[in-house]
Structure 1
Amino acid sequence: MSKPSDSTLVIIPTYNERENLVDIVGRLRQAEPEVDVVVVDDNSPDGTGQAADELAADDDKVHVIHRTAKNGLCAAYCEGFAWALQRDYQVICEMDADGSHAPEELHRLLDRVDQGADVVIGSRYIPGGEVKNWPKKRFFLSRLGNIYISAALGAQLSDMTAGYRAYRRSVIEALDLEELSNAGYIFQVDLAWRAVQREFDVREVPITFVERQRGESKLDSSFVTASLKEVTRWGLKHRTRQLKDFAEVSASLVKHEVGNKLFKK
């Protein structure tokens, strides 16, 4: 019997990841031989795009999208999503090129999709999850930030900023990629939150996140303030809508009760 994961694409966005790309694609192809890969390169000056082309020339499971400029991670993933939707992939995954997401753990995400989940997040902060080689300050910033995000949105997810994910095709088809926020890395929260609001089945599985050993992180600490402000705005909007809905339902119930009492008289 066929499973959704039998038709899986992993999107790997890159910018100056030549040192890491060959290793991560090799590990992925060994761990999951039936999975396809598309590298979305933002015109890396270090030759990452050329390295990706060489991998694709030797392996028909590897594909490459060349973008003309560095336009951000969200835009790269959206282009990868659009590429996947033009083809017959049933599961579409996100994975970093720097080795922080172990390809050997991808089966955890795919297994959960096959069990019925619509979105699966590889989580650092549920039992069994782990972060290796991060400074304490960065760990606590990420952990506390995710606690705040979950509380503000009421999403009941532990790691909404995580970037190791698997989506059913139907989820990506249902979301308007043009509307995704591009405030730093907040688009990952945006994607998860939109899926939750549309009542898709969003699950988390534990992963071990390992800080990159080669190359430089693209993460700028300035994104934190902007991201949390955006999440606060979403949370307030969500709570306001909840209160409005509650007030409307309450008013309807009161009107119904009053009507019943008058009718009985």
Structure 2
Amino acid sequence: MTTPEREPLTRVAVLVPTYNERDNLPRVVARLRSSVPDADVIVLDDNSPDGTGAVADELAAGDPRVRVVHRPGKEGLGRAYLAGFAIALEEGYDAAVEIDADGSHQPEQLPSLLAALADADVVIGARWVRGGEVRNWPGHRKALSLGANLYTKVLLGMRVNDATAGYRAYRTSALRTMGLQQVESHGYCFQIDLTLRAVRAGLTVVEVPITFVEREVGVSKMGRDIVREALTSVTKWGIEHRAAQVRALVQRATGRSPAPAPGLGRDR
């Protein structure tokens, strides 16, 4: 089978959502500028009460490759990334990168993700693959992440090992096919949502091993509501997926044409 020829990546937007990350942001931006000097860094600040937005403005004032989008308030990781994707699509970028502002995603590994994007539509910086690693996580955090990914993989029938990972690179051509206007997920579930959309759109999804390092400064945004949203949504999508498989088997057995699969994230 011939691999489709993909356009070279000449313009890359690195999206950095922030909420109370004033101490981490300058270091992360400096590392990004060193690791991918030809990329543009777009900080998406949700009106951080600790003054992160002002720190971001100072960084942007000293570097034309850095800019800041001031959002009205905290709306969740998913909404911030969707706003960043819209900018990347509107302004003609070839790729959009998701990266955390807390340093847990190492900017020095971004060139590896972008290199893999030469032969893919979506690249996930994966922890739970051969060569991947997580540092400074307690046992219960590892168990939660591994369990969530196993549950997602089995229930949704995907071959992706780290669907919850937040370090990613997308071709903007791929984003255009993924139905982003229907995305309603906000937190932890957002990454699963986009992974499933990419798989269902027939896109090439590649996992590249990374070393994830738990933040040293600040407080994690992971909360019970975020985990609950992910569990509820994945269970719902999984039931729909398995029900569609059963319907397809019944229809084949009775000689009828299969009905179209339910649309992800659409009102029904």
TM-score (norm: length of structure 1): 0.91
Aligned equivalent of 2:164? 161
Does structure 1 conserve the Cα–Cα contact (< 8 Å) formed by 2:76 and 2:186? no
Decide which of 29, 34, 41 is 1:37's aligned counterpart: 41
Within 5 A, what are the aligned runs for 1:14-29? 14-29=18-33
How much has 1:3 moved relative to structure 2? Answer: 5.9
Q: CA deviation at 1:245?
A: 2.1
Distance in structure 2 (CA, Å) of the matches to 1:10 and 1:71: 20
Q: Is the 8 A contact 2:178 2:201 kept in 1?
A: no
Identity of paired residues, percent?
Answer: 49
SS where residue 14 of structure 2 aligns? strand
> Measured at CA, do residues 175 and 3 of structure 1 come closer, stay the same or move farther in structure 2, by a change above 3 Å?
closer
Which of the numbers 207, 220, 223 marks the counterpart of 2:223?
220
Query: Which is worse superposed, 21-30 or 4-13?
Result: 4-13
SS in 2 for 1:63: strand
Q: Out of 170, 176, 180, which is 2:173 matched to?
A: 170
Gaps of 5+ in 1: 254-265
Does the aligned pair in 2 maintain the 1:4–1:113 contact within 8 Å? no
* 1:69-96 Cα distance to aligned partner (Å, 9 max, x none): 1111111111011111111111111000
Q: List aligned pairs for 1:27-176, cutoff 5 A.
A: 27-114=31-118, 116-176=119-179
Asked if the contact 2:88–2:95 (Cα under 8 Å) also holds between the matched residues in 1, the reply is: no
Q: Per the alignment, in what secondary structure is the counterpart of residue 18 of structure 1?
A: coil
1:6 partner SS = coil
Which 5+ residue runs of structure 2 have no aligned equivalent?
1-5, 257-268
TM (normalized to structure 2)?
Answer: 0.90
Q: Does the 8 Å CA contact 1:4/1:91 hold for their aligned counterparts?
A: no
Q: Please tell me whether Structure 1 or Structure 2 has the larger radius of gyration of its CA atoms.
A: 1
Instruction: Answer yes or no: is the 8 Å Cα contact 1:183–1:227 preserved in 2.
Output: no
The partner residue of 2:242 within 229, 239, 242 is 239
Moved more, 214-223 or 98-107: 214-223
Q: How far did 1:221 drift?
A: 3.0
Task: Give secondary structure in 2 for the equivalent of 1:150.
Answer: helix
Determine the structure 2 residue equivalent to 1:8: 12
Aligned CA RMSD, in angstroms, stands at: 1.5
Which residue identity lines up with residue 68 of structure 2 in the other structure?
Answer: V
Cα pair distance change 1:183/1:52, threshold 3 Å: closer
Q: Classify the secondary structure of the residue corresponding to 1:175.
A: coil
Cα distance between partner residues in 1 of 2:110 and 2:124: 11
Q: How far is 1:123 from its partner? A: 0.4
1:178 and 1:195 mapped to 2: Cα distance? Answer: 14
Question: 1: distance between equivalents of 2:27 and 2:58?
Answer: 13
More helix by share: 1
Matched, 1:207 2:210: yes
Count of matched residue positions in the alignment of Structure 1 and Structure 2? 251
Q: In the alignment, does 2:201 pair up with 1:198? A: yes
Q: Equivalents in 1 of 2:47, 2:187: separation in Å?
A: 19
Pair 3,35 (structure 1): closer, same or farther in 2 beyond 3 Å: farther
Whether contact under 8 Å (2:126, 2:162) holds in the other structure is yes
Q: Alignment partner of 1:64: what SS?
A: strand
